[in-house]
Structure 1
């Protein structure tokens, strides 16, 4: 009797343990489901409350693994992550393209255009005389040999600190005295265009291309900014500590982009005037470092300082007005100065409109909750930043071509 009672009690205990174990497993599954569920704004801890007009689809204190996987899911940071991540790969591709292709493109097409122009105009004797002076000109792709011949024919190049295309044209006149004296004496517009094409073709080939480091500094700053921004939007909701670190990383990226954006226009505009070149580069670099240091302050991240943050970075951009006006004064008669300024105004418009939209939280402030997934101010700001940086990339190409051809 005791034995059967004990057996019944043991079976009951086993059933209780199984039931408890089942409840625990169900509880864990339910907890995981709730834990990784998107939540609303009012459920967020204070450090994640940045935009009260975005009402839902927030991630909150997820593990790193889940955050990394969330890059492929829909939440209110999905577009913020992808707009700048795609921008990063765009600028990585542009950097590779520029390093491997752009110098050859700028050298090949002027030569090809020159040969075709001379042949169409019936000036075969000018072309043949030029080839007799520079035999490698007949073999267009052989730029290294042609440059060596130019330097051998024009030994003065190695002794000059700065060489202009007109210096080269003057010395080529010694090689082609009859043809170039005819071009100097005529008033015919076409023959002057031939001379100008010869100048624009021979000058960049005779002189080594100008340094590219300011242009690559800008590309590096753009890639750093875009990658830092993507990482921040993906990971900042892990914990308050990581949020603090990633936001500072993001601010440093913005300051790096603005600072390095100044390097190509300032360096290539004032490369012949080292005082102003060093002055402008030093000022913007110091301002960028000061902005990064100021952004390390914890109070800088508070939502009520949103307008101050936007104004600080906007002020860095506005500081570029001085060197642009200075450039226009120095080179007001050169079309390249006007072209680059037009691109810079467009770039500034992209950045300025983006900063204004970000600071004023347009359009979600007008329809709270309607733009939680897409169309809110931060994603629009991201798109305009990429557009502005891409515009500045083309500005840099114009600067490179300008200085490669004309020198100082």
Structure 2
């Protein structure tokens, strides 16, 4: 019995029998199967996606099923790349490059905002009235607390509204706003919980877009972390809104916080199901996250019914509406896959729906950050 073995792209084993109909078996090396282009038919023309340190981009029809998420993005895909090459691909051009960098840059922006808030937003106050407050009587503007220095660009407008409402000159109110505040600080954890939720969401999204091309298992794990990040962003967005609005009403505070936390936990459990990531369930995923976000309308309406005459309530509601509009627009773009649906292949590298979705998420998250600053200044002034 003789045999001939050729080690090229395939391994060919031929039987020594020369008779008609002798079997011929084609065996493929696992190393080559890992890197070959899917969809090449498995014959002699099969090539590697990665050969040494050179990896190739392929089209949608050559992708394995676990990477087929959007048929309107037709080219520039990475498929089953080694981890090192996948990491380095952050600095090369493919259809995920902008997705990686939009949220990676967003992560560093929110990290900077967190550091800024931790260092610039006052963390503790002395229980004493300043001479300026005592001499101007500004401690009567908002009960027994003075006008607090602004934590945001809109603070001057809040001070002006309070001064006008209290028949105190705007100049006097602004002067008082520059003084050290009186009263005790309110808890900071809801505000920083939101910032951590935003950073986790942005970092997990960036990692998913960068490394999910490595393998089916990596894609499964990273997609679940991505969904958990989205859920975390939505849940923690409720915390400043609910905690600071209902600071003096523990019942509604606990009710709203408990509901959104339980909803978030349920959403994470649902996202663990393998069927959850199927392309045809794109609308179901979008609907789940949209419903979680829309439930925020209940405490916002409640806030306006109770504090509708307060400039802080009006201002934070404006920011929250801007956040909701950005998130809703992002969900619609994500679910409908426009504009690439209209011109498949035209937006493979730049301008497709997921990139727009990322930008809208960052815009909405930043609007809520500004609302959080207003909540802090409001409750630091008045407490409960």
**TM-score normalized with structure 1 length:** 0.72
Task: Say which of 52, 55, 66 aligns to 1:36.
Answer: 55
The farther-off stretch of 98-107 and 221-230 is 98-107
Does residue 313 of the first structure (1) align with residue 332 of the second (2)?
no
Does residue 92 of the first structure (1) align with residue 111 of the second (2)?
yes
Instruction: Provide the C-alpha distance between the structure 1 equivalents of 2:175 and 2:357, rounded to a whole number of angstroms.
Output: 44
The aligned residue for residue 75 of structure 1 is: 94
Structure 1 residues 175-195: Cα deviation after superposition (integer angstroms, max 9, x where no partner): xxxxxxxxxxxxx99974489
The aligned residue for residue 24 of structure 2 is: none
Does residue 376 of the first structure (1) align with residue 372 of the second (2)?
no
Q: In the superposition, relative to structure 1, how do residues 200 and 52 fare at CA in structure 2: closer, same or farther (>3 Å)? A: same
The aligned residue for residue 10 of structure 1 is: none
Aligned length: 319
Deviation of 1:197 (Å): 3.7
Structure 1 residues 130-160: Cα deviation after superposition (integer angstroms, max 9, x where no partner): 9xxxxxxxxxxxxxxxxxxx9xxxxxxxxxx
Q: In the superposition, relative to structure 1, how do residues 189 and 281 fare at CA in structure 2: closer, same or farther (>3 Å)? A: closer
RMSD: 3.4
Please state whether the residue corresponding to 2:122 is helix, strand or coil: helix
Contact 1:354 1:380 in 2 (8 A): yes
Instruction: Provide the C-alpha distance between the structure 2 equivalents of 1:374 and 1:194, rounded to a whole number of angstroms.
Output: 48
Structure 1 residues 77-123: Cα deviation after superposition (integer angstroms, max 9, x where no partner): 0000000000000000000000001228999xxx8xx96xx9xxxxx
More helix by share: 1
Q: In the superposition, relative to structure 1, how do residues 203 and 234 fare at CA in structure 2: closer, same or farther (>3 Å)? A: same
Larger radius of gyration: 1
Does residue 403 of the first structure (1) align with residue 379 of the second (2)?
yes
Instruction: Provide the C-alpha distance between the structure 2 equivalents of 1:381 and 1:67, rounded to a whole number of angstroms.
Output: 23
Task: Say which of 42, 55, 58 aligns to 2:74.
Answer: 55
Instruction: Provide the C-alpha distance between the structure 2 equivalents of 1:199 and 1:312, rounded to a whole number of angstroms.
Output: 48
Please state whether the residue corresponding to 1:166 is helix, strand or coil: coil
Contact 1:255 1:292 in 2 (8 A): yes
Does residue 299 of the first structure (1) align with residue 275 of the second (2)?
yes
Structure 1 residues 194-233: Cα deviation after superposition (integer angstroms, max 9, x where no partner): 8984997599733121111000000000000000000000
Deviation of 1:265 (Å): 0.7
The aligned residue for residue 143 of structure 2 is: 166
Q: In the superposition, relative to structure 1, how do residues 271 and 43 fare at CA in structure 2: closer, same or farther (>3 Å)? A: same
Please state whether the residue corresponding to 1:347 is helix, strand or coil: helix
Instruction: Provide the C-alpha distance between the structure 1 equivalents of 2:180 and 2:249, rounded to a whole number of angstroms.
Output: 20
| Structure 2 counterparts to residues 173-188 of structure 1, below 5 A | none
Instruction: Provide the C-alpha distance between the structure 1 equivalents of 2:171 and 2:184, rounded to a whole number of angstroms.
Output: 21
- Which 4+ residue blocks in structure 1 deviate beyond 3 angstroms? 30-35, 104-107, 188-204
Does residue 248 of the first structure (1) align with residue 248 of the second (2)?
no
Contact 1:203 1:406 in 2 (8 A): no
Structure 1 residues 239-286: Cα deviation after superposition (integer angstroms, max 9, x where no partner): 101100000000000000000000001100000000000100000000
Q: In the superposition, relative to structure 1, how do residues 106 and 84 fare at CA in structure 2: closer, same or farther (>3 Å)? A: farther
Structure 1 residues 32-54: Cα deviation after superposition (integer angstroms, max 9, x where no partner): 45971000000001111000000
Instruction: Provide the C-alpha distance between the structure 2 equivalents of 1:189 and 1:251, rounded to a whole number of angstroms.
Output: 45
| Structure 2 counterparts to residues 249-268 of structure 1, below 5 A | 249-268=225-244
Q: In the superposition, relative to structure 1, how do residues 284 and 196 fare at CA in structure 2: closer, same or farther (>3 Å)? A: farther
Higher relative contact order (CA 8 A, sep 6+): 1
Q: Where does the alignment leave 5 or more consecutive residues of structure 2 unmatched?
A: 1-6, 9-31, 36-46, 147-163
The aligned residue for residue 175 of structure 1 is: none
| Structure 2 counterparts to residues 5-16 of structure 1, below 5 A | none
Deviation of 1:405 (Å): 1.3
Please state whether the residue corresponding to 2:181 is helix, strand or coil: helix
Does residue 336 of the first structure (1) align with residue 312 of the second (2)?
yes
Contact 2:81 2:214 in 1 (8 A): yes
Deviation of 1:165 (Å): 5.1
Q: In the superposition, relative to structure 1, how do residues 81 and 272 fare at CA in structure 2: closer, same or farther (>3 Å)? A: same
The aligned residue for residue 212 of structure 2 is: 236
